[in-house]
Amino acid sequence: MVEYFTELKGKTVIVTGGSKGIGRDIARTFAELGANVAISGRGKEALDEALAELHSFNPNCIAVSGDLSDINEVRRLIDTAAQTFGTVDVLVNNAGVNIAKPAMEVTEEDWDTVLDLNLKSAFFASQAAAKYMLQQGSGRIINIASQMAFVGYIKRAAYCSSKGGLVQMTKALAVEWAKAGINVNAVAPTFIETELTAKMLEDEAFKKDVESRILLDGLSQPKDISGAVLYLASGLANFVTGETIKVDGGWTAI
């Protein structure tokens, strides 16, 4: 019997925003397969909890605290992982933020906060990781985008812009680095049921609207996103680059 994903054991995987929600589930999925995982986050308590969970699967995992809106912190994360484990094999750009406001109320500070973390930090993390991947002649970069890269939605002007840019950035980097053996792809989730979305989903009208747009039953779970990421990181996706996998329950199919 073929055992899939065994090639990920011992690989260096960096997951930004890996202390909570989708990022934590992605990090755990790789750790369960024996990958050496480096996670980043701003809250020490959440970061420590996530790292403890990772250590239950693989003791060779680390956590690096920092605000990835600061490009120096982005580079420190990548360099720390490379120095600790010797390689940088997979980068998952998951860290992100949304400030839900009507377009007429979005301030310059709001815009910069969303774009700096969702798009700018992802680019510079990719650049820093590629420094090592280009030397190795291999690597996988996986950007966590959103269905909002493909559709509009209320109170999401900055967020949609950042995620749309992330999808285009994915294509640009895939084209530039393909001959160097680096595959660059993205995953575009719909609304995910996590502790991070719990508050907004308490709004019954909002939740009803979201559920009405998803063709499959219920809301997506973090493991749905982790599965797509795992595929793109594995040998099963050797001939896939520049693509975005939508994990949206059919939202964008209509």
| Residues recognised as catalytic | 159
| Residue listed under structure tokens 């308590």 | 45
CA–CA–CA angle 184, 54, 144 (5° rounding): 25
**CA-based R_g, the chain, Å:** 17
Q: Which residues have CB under 8 Å from 109's CB, separation 6+?
A: none
Structure tokens at 152: 């509009």
Give the number of residues written for the chain. Answer: 254
Q: How far is CA 24 from CA 33, 64, 128, 243, in A?
A: 14, 14, 22, 23
Q: 29: closest CA among 239, 231, 249, 246?
A: 231
Which residues is 95 bridged to in the sheet? Answer: none
Q: Is 89 helix (H, G, I), strand (E, B) or coil?
A: coil
Which residues is 247 bridged to in the sheet? Answer: 189
CB atoms within 10 A of CB 91: 31
